[in-house]
């Protein structure tokens, strides 16, 4: 019983450490560019609600840790709230009381405000590239060739003409370099025909294979639905081990960010075209479940303590990088209340030569809040189903 409590506490600590670190870096992106442009920042907060710790810096910014640690914000002078929507009365008061208003975010050129807003998601992408890079710098990567072993009877691969011993060299005009590239291409194309080229007997053979949507386990044991051919890696497949220096590791991390963004965009697009049900999308509950499961599994393993810590850090580096990409992507959605919504408003201002009226912005923020609440409900339902699959 005591050990179970310790596992729960350790999981909670790891979860909040990961989330707080990602949020801090996101908000630091906003803050850093704002200070670069010498804008006045009233508060930098990790979490919402009542502060449990705060300190005011010489710049006048209050740094705080608040009691609801599931978010964060940078509040500029003249903001109505944490979403940085302008407070017209506060801005009028600033105009009347200050002779110099050049340090006020809402009075700066639209391109500067856009850069400040964009800096948060960009910071998450940069952090993800660094985390992915640290992981491969640490242990390197192994790349098995895309050599087919067993072909499941009645599978998509059998129906498409794939045979044991085939080596996949191309899919939809894209060169396939290893098994992982092949698997990732297939997983996001369930029900969609893939023009596949295999090498058979030293000669290329063109095939059309349509992956089937199959329920499977992800890397922490949760259930997910994805496209599958129905093949296994050949035991005769050759592996390429790659080692990295800091420069090549960072390049690898940057490519991983690009691949993750591309996969996310493809998945969202398939939802809108009815090819995916959207159940793979999750929110804070799923993140908590995944970090908790990883932490407990590693803690319960029978490996030496040093190796357990090493394995946990490696998995958390990759998991944190993936979540950081997701956080940056989500914030770029064109929904008022999010960074992407602000960028839409600034785009209108740049084209029209004047900002959207205060009333219309307020309507937009209310609409955005409604959308976010609806998304939260849908994602929570998805998360409950996912957590249930972990426990079953």
Which range is most confident: 7-16, 67-76, 129-138? 129-138
User: What pLDDT does residue 342 have?
Assistant: 92
Q: Is the CB of residue 235 less than 8 Å from the CB of residue 213?
A: no
CATH number at residue 196: 2.30.42.10
% residues pLDDT > 70 (the chain): 98
293 close to 15: Cβ distance less than 8 angstroms? no
Compute the distance between CA of residue 251 and CA of residue 133 in angstroms, rounded to an integer: 8
Domain that holds residue 148: 142-242
Locate 44 and state its tokens: 């930098």
The answer to whether 328 and 121 have CB atoms below 8 angstroms apart is yes
Kindly state whether residue 152 falls inside one of the protein's structural domains. yes
More confident residue, 80 or 154: 154
pLDDT bucket at 297, cuts 50 / 70 / 90: confident
In a domain, 1, yes or no: no
With respect to residue 213, please indicate whether it lies within any of the assigned structural domains: yes
Of 27, 307, 349, 362, which residue is the catalytic one? 27
CA quadruple 232, 214, 377, 343: dihedral positive or negative?
Answer: positive
Please, what is the Cα angle at 197 between 191 and 203, to 5 degrees? 155
State the average pLDDT over residues 230-240.
94
Any domain includes 175:
yes
pLDDT at residue number 156 = 97
DSSP conformational letter for 44: E
Active site residue 27: yes
Average of pLDDT values for 340-359?
91
CA distances from 225 to 190, 196, 213, 235, 278 (A): 9, 22, 6, 26, 10
Q: At a CB cut-off of 8 Å and minimum separation 6, what does 59 contact?
A: 35, 41
Q: Is residue 127 part of a domain?
A: no
CB neighbours of 384 closer than 8 A, spacing ≥ 6?
Answer: 285
The pTM assigned to this predicted structure is 0.90
3-state secondary structure 226-240: EEECCEEECCCCCEE
Q: How many domains does the chain have?
A: 1
Q: How many CB atoms within 10 Å of residue 35?
A: 14
Residue with tokens 């259930």: 223
Establish if 286 belongs to a structural domain. Answer: no
Residue 391 forms part of a structural domain: no
Question: Is it the case that residue 3 has pLDDT exceeding 70?
Answer: no
d(CA 213, CA 215): 7
Inform me whether the pLDDT recorded for 4 exceeds 70. no
In a domain, 185, yes or no: yes
């Amino acid at each position: 019983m005591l050990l179970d409590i310790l596992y729960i506490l350790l999981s909670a600590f790891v979860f909040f450490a990961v989330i707080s670190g990602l949020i801090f870096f996101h908000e630091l992106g906003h803050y850093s560019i704002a200070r670069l442009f010498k804008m006045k920042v009233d508060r930098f907060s990790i979490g919402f609600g009542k502060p449990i710790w705060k300190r005011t810096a010489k710049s006048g910014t209050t740094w705080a840790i608040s009691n609801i640690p599931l978010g964060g914000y940078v509040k500029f002078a003249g903001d109505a709230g944490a979403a940085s929507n302008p407070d017209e009365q506060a801005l009028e008061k600033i105009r009347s009381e200050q002779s110099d208003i050049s340090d006020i975010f809402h009075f700066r050129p639209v391109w500067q405000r856009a850069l400040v807003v964009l800096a948060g998601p960009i910071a998450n992408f940069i952090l993800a590239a660094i985390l992915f890079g640290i992981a491969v710098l640490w242990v390197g990567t192994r790349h098995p060739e895309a050599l087919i072993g067993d072909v499941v009877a009645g599978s998509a691969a059998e129906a498409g003409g794939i045979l044991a011993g085939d080596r996949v060299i191309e899919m939809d005009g894209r060169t396939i370099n290893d098994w992982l590239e092949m698997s990732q291409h297939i997983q996001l194309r369930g029900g969609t025909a893939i023009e596949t080229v295999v090498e058979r007997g030293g000669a290329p053979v063109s095939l059309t294979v349509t992956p089937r949507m199959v329920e499977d386990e992800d890397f922490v044991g949760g259930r997910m639905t994805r496209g599958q051919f129905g093949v296994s890696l050949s035991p005769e497949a050759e592996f390429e081990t790659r080692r990295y220096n800091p420069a090549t590791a960072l390049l690898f991390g940057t490519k991983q960010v690009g691949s993750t963004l591309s996969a996310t965009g493809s998945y969202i697009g398939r939802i809108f075209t009815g090819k995916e049900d959207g159940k793979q999308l999750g929110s804070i509950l799923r993140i908590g479940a995944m970090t908790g499961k990883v932490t407990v599994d590693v803690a319960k393993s029978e490996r030496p303590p040093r190796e357990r810590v090493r394995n946990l850090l490696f998995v958390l580096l990759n998991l944190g990088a993936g979540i950081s990409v997701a956080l940056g992507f989500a914030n770029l959605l064109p929904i008022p209340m999010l960074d992407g919504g602000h960028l839409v408003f600034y785009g209108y201002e740049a084209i029209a030569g004047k900002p959207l009226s205060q009333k219309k912005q307020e309507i937009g923020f209310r609409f955005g809040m409604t959308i976010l609440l609806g998304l939260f409900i849908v994602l929570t339902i998805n998360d409950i189903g996912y957590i249930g699959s972990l426990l079953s």
